[in-house]
Amino acid sequence: MSLKEQLVSTSKDHLGSLETKLYSLMKPVTPRPEFVNTLRQRIHITGQPAWVSRFNNIQFILILVTGVLSGVVVVTMLARVLVNILVSGKKSSEIS
């Protein structure tokens, strides 16, 4: 066996024993049952209502932006109507 082959073989043996070590030490852990049960209950309680799932994020943002813009338009129109009423009331009182 050449030196190179010996080195490769030694390295493989060494990595093999490292793997064995990892298998013996890296064991799955069990979460505390209290934690698992509490989280299960919280998830069930705080689950989102079904209608939310019908919209994805982009749809939700579009609906939100449309709603806000519509609100702004309505408020502006109401303000203009109110100003017109006040101005016309003032003019009519000045004429009389």
Question: What is the C-alpha separation between 74 and 51, in angstroms, rounded?
Answer: 27
Nearer to other proteins among residue 2 and residue 56 (C-beta): 56
Residue 69 C-beta: closest distance to other proteins, Å: 25
Structure tokens at 2: 């050449």
User: Which among 1-9, 51-59, 69-77, 87-95 is the span making contact with other proteins, rule CB under 8 A?
Assistant: 51-59
Question: CA end-to-end span of the chain, whole Å?
Answer: 120
Residue 96 is a binding residue for other proteins (CB under 8 A): no
Interface with other proteins (CB under 8 A), residue from 1, 4, 5, 53: 53
